[in-house]
Amino acid sequence: MTRDTSILGLCPDCDEEITPAWLLVEYEQDDGTTGIWAECPACEDVVKPE
């Protein structure tokens, strides 16, 4: 089994990498792009990865 090493972005609070396993919500923003909310595995906050 291969491991998914892609990242969604960095936590704006602690700069931890957030992988797709921590994705909570994916939604369409007003401008038509996809927005996401994820849990940070390090600080355990729900954040919008940057």
Q: Quick check: is 1 in a domain?
A: no
User: 20 or 2, which is more confident?
Assistant: 20
Q: Quick check: is 39 in a domain?
A: yes
Q: Quick check: is 23 in a domain?
A: yes
**Structure confidence by residue, pLDDT tens digits, 5-34:** 699 999 999 999 999 999 999 999 999 999
For 20, the domain range is 9-47
Domain total in the chain = 1
Q: Quick check: is 4 in a domain?
A: no
**Contacts by 41-49, CB closer than 8 A, 24 or more apart:** 41/16, 42/11, 42/14, 42/16, 43/11, 43/13, 43/14, 43/16, 45/11, 45/13, 47/11, 47/12, 47/13, 47/18, 48/12, 49/7, 49/8, 49/9, 49/10, 49/11, 49/12, 49/18
Query: Which pTM does this prediction carry?
Result: 0.80
